[in-house]
Chain A
Amino acid sequence: MAITNNKLLDSHYQSNFADIHPAFESKEAALIEANRCLFCYDAPCTKSCPTSINIPKFIKQITTDNVKGSAHTIFESNIMGAGCSRVCPVEKLCEGSCVFNLMDDAPIPIARLQRFSTEKAMEKKWKLFERKPSMGKKVAVVGAGPAGLSCAHVLAREGVDVTIHEKESKGGGLMTYGIAAYKVTPEFCEEEVAYIASVGGIKIKYGQELGVSMTLDELQKNYNAVYLGIGVGVARRLEIPGEELDGVVDAIQFIYDIRTNPYPSIAVGDRVAVIGMGMTAIDAATQAKRLGAKNVTLVYRRTQEEMPCTETELNLAKLDGCVIQWLAAPHEILGEKGKVKQLVCKIMKLGPPDSGGRRSPIETKDKVSIDVDMVIKAAGQIPFEELIKKSGLQNKSGKIIIDKNGATNLKGVFAGGDSVNGGKEVVDAVQAGKEGAVGILNYLKTNF
C-alpha cells in the first residue's frame, strides 16, 4: 500500500478523464431532442434554473436553425452557460423539473442542448453582446470565478471599465480548479473566460491576491466600486487525532493538483477514504479511482436521504466502483511511521431534524475501521475568515453578509457567490454576480 503516481497506462488516463457528457455528434441528433421539447409556458425548467435561462425559447431556437439566437438567449441569463451545461447538477435543477418526468418519460436533455448552442457560439466566436461606450467608471472585481466573471460581464456591457484581480494564473475559479476533469477541461475553462472577456472593457490581472498583492482599502480608493467574488478556501478540518499524518489531504487541493498537472504525475493511494458526500467529495472519490486507486470508500455521517450530492453523482461514484460507508463519522486516523494506516469511524444513527430540516447524526458506541493509505477531506470548505475579518467586512462565521442589493457594510463594496453563501453551485454564483452588478450599477448612478 502506498501513495504513488504513474499507476496507469497513458491510454487509461485518457479514457478515464474523457468527457462524461459528450456533446451531440450531429445537428440531427440535437434536433431530435430539441423537437421533443413541448415549449412549456412559464416553464418549470426555467423556474428551476437559478439564472432563469429561458430554456423553452433557446431550445425552440435550435429547431428553427437560429443557433445564434439560442446561444444569445442562454448567455443573456447565464454568461457561463457553456460551463454550466457541463457542470450543473441538472437532475436537481432544470432537467429534474422537466414535465416529461411527470409523464414517466426521459426529460429533455437540456444541458446537452445548451452545450450544443454555446459550444457553437464559442467555436465561431460569435459576438453576441455589444458593450455600451465607456461611462468612465471603474470597478474592481476580486476573483475571476463564476461570480466575478458574471458581475464583470454585466458591468462591462453597461459601459463600466472593469478590472478583475485574480490570485491564480488562470480565470474560471472553481470551474477551472475545483471540478472533476472529466466534466470540464482546463483548456475549455480558459476559452470560456476569454470568450466572456471578449465583450471588451474587462481587464484581468492574474497573480493578484487580496490581502497580499493589494488591500481592500486600496481597491476602494482606486475604483468607484469593488465586487468581491473570492469564493471559499480550504476543506473543513476534521478535528480528529491523526489529521496531521502523511496521506491526509484536502479534496480541494487534490482536485487543484489534478487540474494543474499531468494526470500520471498525480499521486494517489491504493486504498482511499473520502470524507463527505457533497459534489466535491464525489469529484475527489471518482478521480482517485480514475487515477488508479484500488479501493475508494466514501464516508458519510448521514444516509442517502440527507446527502448533499445528487443521485446521478452518487451513481457516478458507484459505477466507478467506489464503496459508500453510510452513517459513519471519522473518529481518528491511525498511522505507522507517520503515514496513514487506518481510518476509525464511529457508527452513527439519525436523530431528529436540525434547524435546516436535515436529520442530525447521533454517535453510537459501535465503531468501524477502514484500512487506508490516503484520506481525502471533503466535508465542506471554510471561508477566508481571517482575510474577511481583517478587511472589516461584516460576516457570519466568515461568510460575508450582504443586503438585498449585494452591498456589504463597507461603502462601495459588494460581494456574492461562495464567499457569501458558503459554497453552492456555479450557476448560483453566476446569478449572484448578475445581482451584484445590478446593485453596483445603481450605486454608481446615485453616487457619482
Chain B
Amino acid sequence: MADITANFLGIKSPNPFWLASAPPTDKKVNVLRAFEAGWGGVVWKTLGSQVKNVSSRYSAMDYNGTRVMGFNNIELISDRPLDLNLREIAECVKLFPDRAMVVSLMADNTREKWHELIAQVEDTGAHGLELNFGCPHGMTERGMGAAVGQDPEIARMVVGWVMEKARIPVITKLTPNVHSVVPTGRAAVEAGSNALSLINTIQSVTGIDLDTLVPNPNVAGKSVFGGYCGPAVKPIALKMLATLAQDPITSKVPVSGIGGISTWKDAVEFILLGASNVQVCTAVMKNGFRIVEDMCEGLNNWMDDKGFKTLDDFVGRSVPNLTHWEDLDINYHIVARINPDKCVHCGLCYIACEDASHQSIRIEQGKPYNNYTIKEEECVGCNLCKLVCPVENCITMVEQRKGDEYLNWKEFQRRGLPLNDH
C-alpha cells in the first residue's frame, strides 16, 4: 500500500483531498460530515465583511444528457455571523485534529481589517489561511476578490499586510480571469505568501432560458456573470497550474490544485503538473462527500501500480514533458490504423476526417455496413479519428518516423528543408 498522506506547508492530512472553500465547507455540520466521510482537509468558506446573498444562485451546463458538466455560481462569501463561523471552526479542529483546517479570508481592503480577521482566525486553532483573491462576482465591485487578484501590485500589497501578522502558513488563491496567472502569482510569492492555490472560478454565462430569454441563474428576471467551475474547466486549470510550475519564482512554493477535479485520475493529473495537494468542490456539490472513498482507493491503487511510495515521488513529474512548440520533433510521424475486427462501421472517423481533417479515410460502400480504411500516405496523424471512434483501441496510431534523428522547427528552418506540399 502506498502512503497517500499529504504534508502541505507542514499542514498534515491523511490524504491530499481537501474540500475547496465553498458551500460544502461553510458550517460545522457539513465539515464534520466531510471528515467522517474521509476528506483530508477543508478550506472553510471565505470569511470577511458582511454580505447578503440572492436567490437563485447556481446554474449548470449539461452535455448530451450528462448533467453539470460545468457549474456556475453567483453566491458570495459566507453570509453567516463571523462569531458563529469562528466558534464552529474551533470545534471542528478539536473533533478532528488529524485533518487540515484552512480558513479562506477576504477582509475589507485595509491593513487593520486584515490583521483583525487574521488574529480572530488564528485563535480558533486553524492550521492555515487561504487568501481569496479570486472570487469573480459580487465582491469585486467592492474592490475585493478578483479585483485584488487581477492587479499584481494590489495583490503584493495585501499579501504584505497579511504576512506582517500571520503566524500560520498562508496560501494565496489566484483568479483565472487574467491573461496569465503568473504575474499575480509572482507578486504573492515575492510578498511572502507561503504557497499558491488555483484556480478560482472563471467568469461565465452558462446559458439563456429560451422561453424567457433571461440568462441563468435567474434572479427576478435578471442575471449576472457568475463563476464557472466543474469538469469543463479542468483543462484550463491544468494549463494555468503548469505555468506556475514552469516559472522560476512561482515554482518555489507549493501549489494546491483546484479546478474541476472529480476523480482520483483528475487529482493525479494535477499532482503530475506540480500540485502538492488538490481541492474539490463541484463534484461534491453534485454527488456528496462519499466520492472521496474512490478518490483515495483509486489513487492508492494507481500509485501501487506505478511503484510510487509517496505523493512526493510524482509531484510535478509531467512538467518536463511540456515543452515549447518549436522544440517538438518534426520527424516524429504517426498514422492511424483501423482494426477491421473491432470496427463497427459507424462512419464517425470517416466523416470527421473527410469534413474536418485531411480526407485520409477510404470508404467502401456496403449494405448496410460500409468499410473504412486509412489512406496512410494522406494521414497526418492528427488523432481526430481515434478521438471520435466509439470503440476502444479500434483505431491506433502507429509510428512511422520521417527520419531517425530528432529534428525541431528551428533546425528545420536553419537547414532550409521543404515545407508541406499540400
Contact = CB atoms under 8 A, between A and B. Distances in A.
Contact of B391 (A32, A39, A40, A103): A103
Interface string A12-50: 000000000000000000011011001111111101100
Interface in B358-415: 363, 365, 367-370, 390-391
A63 interface: yes
B347 A42 contact: yes
Contacts of A48: 368
Interface in B326-351: 344-348, 350-351
Contacts of B350: 41
A43 B370 CA distance: 9
A43 B65 contact: no
A99 B345 contact: yes
A68 to B, nearest CB: 14
B345 A44 contact: yes
Interface string B52-87: 000000000000110000000000000000000000
Interface string B241-281: 00000000000000000000000000000000000000000
Contact of A31 (B65, B344, B348): B65
Contacts of A70: none
Contacts of B363: 42
Contact of B64 (A42, A47, A63, A102): A63
A63 B65 contact: yes
B174 to A, nearest CB: 36
A121 B355 CA distance: 33
B346 A38 contact: yes
A35 B65 CA distance: 6
B368 to A, nearest CB: 4
Given A63-B65, A103-B391, A39 B348 contact: yes
Contact of A102 (B344, B347, B351, B370): B344
Q: Contact residue range for chain A?
A: 20 to 34
A336 to B, nearest CB: 53
Interface residues of B, number: 17
A39 B390 CA distance: 11
A41 B344 contact: no
A444 B365 CA distance: 35
A44 B369 contact: yes
Given A32-B65, A38-B390, A63-B65, A47 B346 contact: no
Interface core residue of B64, B346, B351, B363 (most chain A CB under 10 Å): B346
Contact of B346 (A31, A34, A40): A40
A224 to B, nearest CB: 37
A117 B344 CA distance: 27
B348 A44 contact: no
Contact of A99 (B346, B351, B367): B346
Contact of A40 (B64, B347, B365, B367): B347
B390 to A, nearest CB: 5
A31 B65 CA distance: 7
Nearest to A36: B65
Contacts of B351: 41
Interface string A333-366: 0000000000000000000000000000000000
Contacts of A41: 346-348, 350-351
A31 to B, nearest CB: 6
Nearest to A45: B368
Contacts of A39: 348
A35 B64 contact: yes
Interface string B106-140: 00000000000000000000000000000000000
A42 B370 contact: yes
A51 interface: no
Interface string A65-108: 00000000000000000000000000000000101101100000
Contacts of A99: 344-346, 390
Nearest to B389: A38
Given A43-B346, A99-B390, 20 more contacts: A34-B65, A35-B64, A38-B346, A39-B348, A40-B346, A40-B348, A41-B346, A41-B348, A41-B350, A42-B347, A42-B370, A45-B368, A97-B368, A97-B369, A99-B345, A100-B344, A102-B344, A102-B345, A103-B344, A103-B391
7 contacts: A41-B346, A41-B348, A42-B347, A42-B370, A47-B367, A63-B65, A100-B344
Sorted from nearest, which 9 A-B pairs have the closest CB atoms?
A41-B347, A35-B65, A44-B368, A41-B351, A99-B344, A47-B368, A102-B344, A40-B346, A97-B368
Interface of B: 64-65, 344-348, 350-351, 363, 365, 367-370, 390-391
